[in-house]
């Protein structure tokens, strides 16, 4: 889908604007675009100061040049450094004797007026490290932001992540996909490999929805049971099909938590795992033969094809087809469905575009400083990726109709 273009600002000149520009040119001897930035920075500081002076007049009830019997009065200025879109600047904040003045244009303890928090979070979402963000802010805006400051800013989204991870879910999901991306994370000086398990659902209207992201180390039936029970605790009562690779313990966990749910092993992953055993010169004909299995019109013909392919390649690659027979109960559900439904459930392609976003994090960060940093990056990347999910899956009406018939009474009509 084409990216939405931002509206272009159209400059409309007036006599008033022309007079201001002429005064700027004379006052600041502007010769370059950099001179314009410096002039605007100076004007911004001056404007803030004048606005604060007006706020102080309103607070005290009299202007600077007037006399008053009030027991509160001006008490000099306090220097304050703030960050703006034009860089860092020092402003003079007027003070009153009773310290009751509360400026509004730049509030107390406010050190930024450029929405820099949102800029930092946006850069973090695109996979930039804290060091890269710090360097970028200095290059573009001319002020330093320590890595600790950037970490503090991104930590502000942790309550949002917690709310997102605990939000209520739909009663029924026709299809769920589970996939994993692995990352290196530093833990007490030791670098460990952690897996980020992404659970993506297709809701009843055919829209993709990331249900949760789980960062874990060891797969087991106990682990997956806790993950699936977490979905139940958030309102999920039924799942028709769960599509996943051969995750350790996933089959047993599905049987325990959602006994009516069908487990479909991802065919694409199955093929990839098979091709690990195959030499480059044989890959193309081997893949062509594998298609006769998973594209068969029914399970009977698929089993016939499985025997033929196994017999043909067994002597040369004796281990290549073992997993097909061992996992046939999880491979075979697709043969009950039409081509349109198979396109939805035989692969985790629906999650691949999301995984591509997650893989960018690996390219930009060789090691994450903590599992919290990893979770923040994953959440923000998810938010960026899902902004574009504004259309249902193709032919979803036909798919939903077939699933409704196949799993009678389990989907809303």
pLDDT, greater one: 379 or 13: 379
Residue 4 has pLDDT above 60, yes or no: no
Residue 110 has pLDDT above 90, yes or no: no
Residue 267 has pLDDT above 80, yes or no: yes
Distance CA 315, CA 268 (A): 24
Q: Where are the beta strands (DSSP E) in 137-292?
A: 172-187, 190-202, 208-216, 238-244, 262-265
What is residue 334's DSSP assignment? Answer: G
Residue 2 is predicted with a pLDDT of 43
Report the mean per-residue pLDDT for the chain. Answer: 84
Q: How confident is the model at residue 17 (pLDDT cuts 50, 70, 90)?
A: low
Residue 112 is predicted with a pLDDT of 72
pLDDT, greater one: 407 or 89: 407
Q: Which of 192, 183, 346, 337 lies closest to 265 in space, CA to CA?
A: 346
Q: How confident is the model at residue 3 (pLDDT cuts 50, 70, 90)?
A: very low
Task: Collect all residues with Cβ–Cβ distance below 8 Å to 7 and sequence separation of at least 6.
Answer: none
Q: Across the chain, how many H-helices and E-strands are there? A: 17, 7
Distance of CA 108 to the CA centre of its chain: 33
Residue 139 has pLDDT above 50, yes or no: yes
Among 63-77, 184-198, 391-405, which is the least confidently predicted range?
63-77
Q: How confident is the model at residue 10 (pLDDT cuts 50, 70, 90)?
A: low
176 - beta bridge partners? Answer: 201, 242
**Cβ atoms of 272 and 248 closer than 8 Å:** no
Reading the block at residue 123, the tokens are: 């850069």
Q: How confident is the model at residue 174 (pLDDT cuts 50, 70, 90)?
A: very high
Residue 1 has pLDDT above 50, yes or no: no
Can you give the residue ranges of every domain in the chain? 44-62+72-114, 115-166, 167-407
Residue 187 has pLDDT above 80, yes or no: yes
Residue 89 is predicted with a pLDDT of 79
> Strands 238-244 and 172-187: what pairing?
parallel
Q: How confident is the model at residue 324 (pLDDT cuts 50, 70, 90)?
A: very high
Q: Global pTM?
A: 0.70
Three-point CA angle 79, 81, 87, nearest 5°: 140
Residue 358 is predicted with a pLDDT of 85
> Strands 208-216 and 74-84: what pairing?
unpaired
Q: How confident is the model at residue 142 (pLDDT cuts 50, 70, 90)?
A: low
Phi, psi of 204 (to 5 degrees): -65, -20
**What separation in angstroms does the CA of 316 have from each of 258, 274, 308, 312?**
41, 13, 14, 9
**Cβ atoms of 95 and 76 closer than 8 Å:** yes
Among 99-108, 194-203, 313-322, which is the least confidently predicted range?
99-108
Distance CA 118, CA 153 (A): 9
pLDDT digits (tens, 9 = 90+) for 325-344: 999 999 999 999 999 999 88
Residue 264 is predicted with a pLDDT of 94
Task: Collect all residues with Cβ–Cβ distance below 8 Å to 260 and sequence separation of at least 6.
Answer: 238, 410
Is the Cα torsion angle 294, 296, 302, 305 positive or negative in sign? Answer: negative
Reading the block at residue 308, the tokens are: 């033929």
């Amino acid at each position: 889908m084409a990216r939405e273009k931002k509206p272009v600002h159209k400059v409309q000149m007036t006599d008033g604007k022309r007079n201001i520009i002429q005064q700027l040119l004379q006052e600041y001897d502007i010769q370059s675009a950099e001179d314009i930035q410096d002039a605007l920075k100076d004007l911004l500081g001056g404007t803030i100061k004048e606005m604060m002076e007006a706020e102080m007049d309103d607070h005290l009830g009299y202007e600077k040049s007037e006399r008053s019997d009030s027991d509160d009065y001006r008490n000099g200025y306090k220097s304050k450094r703030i960050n703006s879109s034009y860089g860092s600047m020092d402003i003079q904040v007027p003070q009153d004797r009773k310290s009751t003045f509360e400026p509004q244009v730049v509030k107390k303890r406010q050190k930024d007026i450029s929405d820099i928090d949102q800029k930092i979070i946006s850069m973090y979402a695109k996979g930039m490290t804290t060091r890269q963000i710090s360097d970028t802010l200095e290059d573009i805006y001319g002020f330093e932001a320590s890595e600790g400051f950037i970490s503090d800013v991104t930590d502000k989204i942790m309550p949002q992540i917690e709310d997102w991870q605990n939000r209520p879910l739909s009663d029924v999901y026709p299809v769920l996909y589970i996939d994993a991306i692995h990352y290196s994370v530093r833990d007490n000086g030791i670098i460990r490999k952690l897996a980020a398990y992404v659970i993506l659902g297709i809701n009843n209207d055919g829209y993709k929805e990331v249900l949760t992201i789980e960062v874990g180390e060891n797969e087991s039936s106990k682990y997956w049971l806790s993950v699936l029970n977490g979905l139940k605790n958030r309102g999920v009562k039924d799942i028709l099909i769960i599509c996943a690779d051969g995750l350790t313990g996933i089959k047993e966990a599905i049987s325990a938590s959602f006994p009516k749910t069908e487990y479909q092993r991802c065919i694409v992953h199955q093929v990839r795992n098979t091709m690990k055993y195959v030499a480059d010169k044989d890959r193309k004909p081997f893949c062509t033969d594998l298609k006769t299995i998973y594209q068969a019109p029914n399970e009977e013909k698929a089993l016939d094809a499985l025997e033929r392919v196994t017999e043909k390649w067994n002597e040369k690659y004796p281990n290549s087809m073992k997993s097909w027979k061992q996992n046939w109960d999880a491979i075979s559900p697709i043969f009950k469905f039409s081509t349109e439904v198979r396109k939805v459930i035989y692969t985790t392609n629906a999650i691949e575009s999301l995984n591509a976003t997650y893989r960018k994090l690996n390219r930009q960060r060789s090691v994450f400083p903590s599992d919290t940093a990893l979770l923040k990056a994953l959440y923000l990347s998810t938010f960026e990726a899902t902004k574009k999910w504004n259309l249902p899956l193709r032919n979803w009406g036909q798919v939903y109709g077939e699933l409704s018939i196949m799993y009678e009474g389990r989907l809303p009509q």
